[in-house]
A and B are shown apart, each in its own frame.
Chain A
Amino acid sequence: MREGMFRNLSGCAISGIISKSGKRFSGQRIIDSITVMHERSNGLGGGFAAYGIYPEYKDYYAFHMFYDNRTAKKECEEFLEEHFDIINLSKIPTRKIREITDEPLIWRYFVTPLPTKLAESQLDEREFVARCVFRINTCIDGAYVFSSGKNMGVFKAVGFPEDVGYFYRLDEYEGYCFTAHGRYPTNTPGWWGGAHPFALLDYSVVHNGEISSYDANRRAIEMYGYKCTLLTDTEVITYIIDYLHRKNKLTFNEICSVMAAPFWSTIESKPQEEREELEFLRYTFASQLINGPFSIIVGFEGGMMALNDRLKLRSMVVGEKDDMVYVASEEAAIRVIQNDLDKVWSPKGGEGVIVTVEKGKI
């Protein structure tokens, strides 16, 4: 069984760290944070998203791939060569450890779309790349792109998150932002692609919860050309963010007002201008309202957003120290890496925490 063949519900732990000044730090810190929440995972999935880790290739899309076998790899590479200029390719370095087994072939490609192909497609570059990712994931059996952004990468596997971090040598990477996920699925998937974060282009999502609006969100987003192949909440949330941010150019603040829209009674109590704007967003993006418990951390180029569902049915704590912002399911996961916090608070339901790196600092 793998994701996509059934709907897999899970509880989880999430954590995220970002430096507002764009200072790069080691991935060891996020491993330390997520390790504290060992109890919130059950060894059936862990992963990380890391931003600012490929400065030398920052103008290229970094594709992280799982292959089930060599045939899939061959077929996928043919597809890549046909559509992209491949600047660099390699195996993703890993450590062999007892806790992580049954690994697929894990490869990394730095690519840029072939100008002729891109022109032919009449699409903008990011849409072209997104569509190629969908093509590979739905059409090439045994090949799966699990990371496709620039200057960022997702690392995930079946296992406890701390083991996954060690396995991928995350301690050897440096970035300005990391997010992490430990999974507690109610079913037993054996597939690495089903672990989280889920990512499309530079958007990555780690999510704790189980949304009750799933099929409403899925059927709505699929109308805009997305294909939900994994049947997970995280996948559909990622697509919603991509749809709202990349396609509709909403700000992350506006995105929070869509995904965790204020109640109508709250909207009505606002001053006219704000009220009309909130009404407009709820009217227009009614199908992108996410209902049911969730806490998510969204990574994107140059920033990070944390958001709870509007009733705050999942725990989430934010801490600040100097230029660093920490978000985690539990305060302990922040304290373990930074006990001396300037500020620590639990954001209210539907209150987004959006942190962006100062301009020009990456």
Chain B
Amino acid sequence: MKRVYVNENWCLGCHLCEYYCAFASTNEKDMARALKGIKISPRIRVEEMDGISFAVSCRHCNEPLCVKGCITGALTRVDGIIMIDKDKCISCYTCVLCCPYGAVSPSEDGAVLKCELCIKTYSRTPMCVKGCPNEAIVFEERGE
């Protein structure tokens, strides 16, 4: 299955992935209109320290702890992609605590936020990958 991978060698810490990610979930055509004046809640986040940076988003684990821990069944694994059903989520944040990568985060609208590989959007390639100026984030098949 194709997954998002990051290569810290090429990550510039520009944070564009976060903005493209936030933009992806808005259904707007224009990023300025979509994100103007908003504090974004991206599903991918750049971690930086001592000149090293890399983006972190859901790994779509084969044995996902978040799904295991989800008490309502809001998180499920569908064709290898871990999806969130916002209607079922009750914001208990068990998944946020379970995820070893910190890839699930709380949000203001109640349900947790996590990367769903942009499958709910028009784009076939995740927007963080498309928007990365240095191919530090790639979407590829690397075997299980």
Verify whether A and B have any Cβ pair under 8 Å: no
